[in-house]
Amino acid sequence: MVIENNFSLDHIDLAILRLMQDNARISNVDLAKALDLVPSAVLERVKKLEKKNVITGYNAKVNPAAVDLKLLAFISMKSSQSFSCNDTASELAKIPDVQEVHVIAGDDCFLVKVRTTDSASLMALLRDEFSKVPNILSVKTTIVLETVKEQQQLVIPQK
Amino acid sequence: MVIENNFSLDHIDLAILRLMQDNARISNVDLAKALDLVPSAVLERVKKLEKKNVITGYNAKVNPAAVDLKLLAFISMKSSQSFSCNDTASELAKIPDVQEVHVIAGDDCFLVKVRTTDSASLMALLRDEFSKVPNILSVKTTIVLETVKEQQQLVIPQK
DNA sequence: AATAAAAATGAATTTTATTCTACATTATAA
DNA sequence: TTATAATGTAGAATAAAATTCATTTTTATT
């Protein structure tokens, strides 16, 4: 599948993305070896990818259990103003424990991903934070029992 | 809130996690400056955090639109064998475009996060891949219209 | 307080990042 | 096709950072 957009990435750029998605701390030297290029050339490309907002950041992935965040939940909500739901969404986005906020099509209006210590802290979050968010008509909370897969790496196509 | 688990992280470890979550490519020198420590001491701690699986990886965050992945969807499914659903879940996890697979409590059994190029490729995915997964009774696909927030950083508590 | 274990220091060494200039490649237009 | 501009790459030089290690300090435990 050929990429047709204004980011104009060639196969080397895509290879860089593939490698750095899995190992953001790879050195330029190792990147250069893997791509059969010279380090300075790779460095320029990486900087360009950052400037073009193709690479939007580098994150260490932290084990949630290690920092006592053992509960994951998805919360879907209906809004009373479905055509101007952006205030609601941005208020939801301000809540630190909220990892994701999506405006969705279908029965509900928002889908929110939340991580807390336990069910008690989720309850507190709903009571103290979500209750203040405007225009919410209904809330449906789905508790995650087990996460089988959770990756942010994208499937990056060939050329 | 005091962390009580077998990872035994002190406030310096937590500070490292906070910094590296947001900037995985920060140098040891800069980490050391921020923590008022010496680079070699920081390096040891980071390696220990990796070994203990507190830090589970480093990822470059790639802009999905740049690699032509403009469609995000959540798919929830019912299973015919709700108490041995792990085969189903692990089959779902094998599909590359599937970013997340969660076993959930509630009406449905699985919640899956999927990223594709467009609705046509989502359709193809459902037809070609999901149809092969065993024990699926029902499928409900929710299309994301707009993502307002999407971060993998965790809220790391104080000491 | 004594001991053991863990962590931090600071200097030395190795490795890497970064800069810069020259050269090559590609695309564009005459 | 040929000239020209623009962009990308190579490779060496330099600056900066990572890494190692022996020693010292701190912390926890008895």
pLDDT of A42-89, one tens digit each? 999 999 999 999 999 999 999 999 999 999 999 999 998 766 677 899
Q: Give the tokens for residue A158.
A: 């060939």
Distance between CA atoms of A130 and A99, rounded to whole angstroms?
A: 14
- In sequence order, what are the beta bridge partners of B59? A59
Helix ranges restricted to H, A23-118: 28-35, 39-51, 86-94
Residue A12 CA to C14 C1' — how many Å? Answer: 29
Residue nearest to nucleotide D10 (CA to C1'): A38
**CA nearest to B148, candidates A134, A138, A110, A29:** A110
Question: What mean pLDDT comes out for the span B35-39?
Answer: 95
Residue A8 confidence (pLDDT): 81
Three-state DSSP at A99 gives strand
Q: Using an 8 Å CB-CB cutoff, list chain B residues near A69.
A: 154-155
Angle CA A85–B21–A28, to nearest 5: 120
pLDDT in tens, A94-107: 999 999 999 999 99
Calculate the dihedral angle through the C-alpha atoms of B43, A97, A118, B111, rounding to the nearest 10 degrees: -100
DSSP assigned state of A135: T
% chain B with pLDDT above 70: 94
Q: For residue A39, what pLDDT band results from cuts at 50, 70 and 90?
A: very high
Which nt sits closest to B45, CA to C1'? C7
Q: For residue A5, what pLDDT band results from cuts at 50, 70 and 90?
A: low
pLDDT in tens, B103-117: 999 999 999 999 999
Which nt sits closest to B42, CA to C1'? C8
Contact in structure between A48 and B66 (CB atoms under 8 Å): no
Question: What mean pLDDT comes out for the span A129-150?
Answer: 96
Q: For residue B54, what pLDDT band results from cuts at 50, 70 and 90?
A: very high
CATH 3.40.605.10 assigned to A1-60? no
Contact in structure between A58 and B24 (CB atoms under 8 Å): yes
Does the distance separating the beta carbons of A67 and B3 come in below 8 Å?
yes
Residue A159 confidence (pLDDT): 63
Residue B83 confidence (pLDDT): 67
Residue A12 CA to D9 C1' — how many Å? Answer: 13
Q: What are the domain boundaries of chain B?
A: 1-60, 64-143
- Which of B56, B102, B121, B145 best tests the A interface by mutation, with the highest count of A CBs <10 A? B102
Q: Is pLDDT of B1 > 70? A: no
**CA nearest to B101, candidates B63, B69, B136:** B136
Q: Which nucleotides of C are covered by protein (CB under 7 A)?
A: 7-11, 15-20
Q: Which nucleotides of D are covered by protein (CB under 7 A)?
A: 8-12, 16-22
Partner-chain residue, chosen from B63, B101, B156, that has the shortest CB–CB distance to A148? B101
Under 8 Å CB-to-CB from B21, ≥6 apart: which residues? Answer: A59, A60, A62, B153, B154, B156
pLDDT in tens, B71-101: 999 999 999 876 667 789 999 999 999 999 9
Q: Is pLDDT of A6 > 90? A: no
Distance between CA atoms of A89 and A108, rounded to whole angstroms?
A: 13
This prediction has a pTM of 0.91
Strands A110-116 and B110-116: unpaired
Residue B33 confidence (pLDDT): 96
Partner-chain residue, chosen from B66, B72, B92, that has the shortest CB–CB distance to A7? B66
Does the distance separating the beta carbons of B63 and A55 come in below 8 Å?
yes
Residue A4 confidence (pLDDT): 46
Does the distance separating the beta carbons of B67 and A61 come in below 8 Å?
no
Question: What mean pLDDT comes out for the span A8-15?
Answer: 91
CB atoms closer than 10 angstroms to residue B150: 16
Three-state DSSP at B89 gives helix
The sign one gets for the Cα dihedral B122, B128, B130, B131 is positive
- Name the CATH architecture for the domain at A64-143: 2-Layer Sandwich (3.30)
Contact in structure between A111 and A79 (CB atoms under 8 Å): no
Question: What mean pLDDT comes out for the span A138-145?
Answer: 97
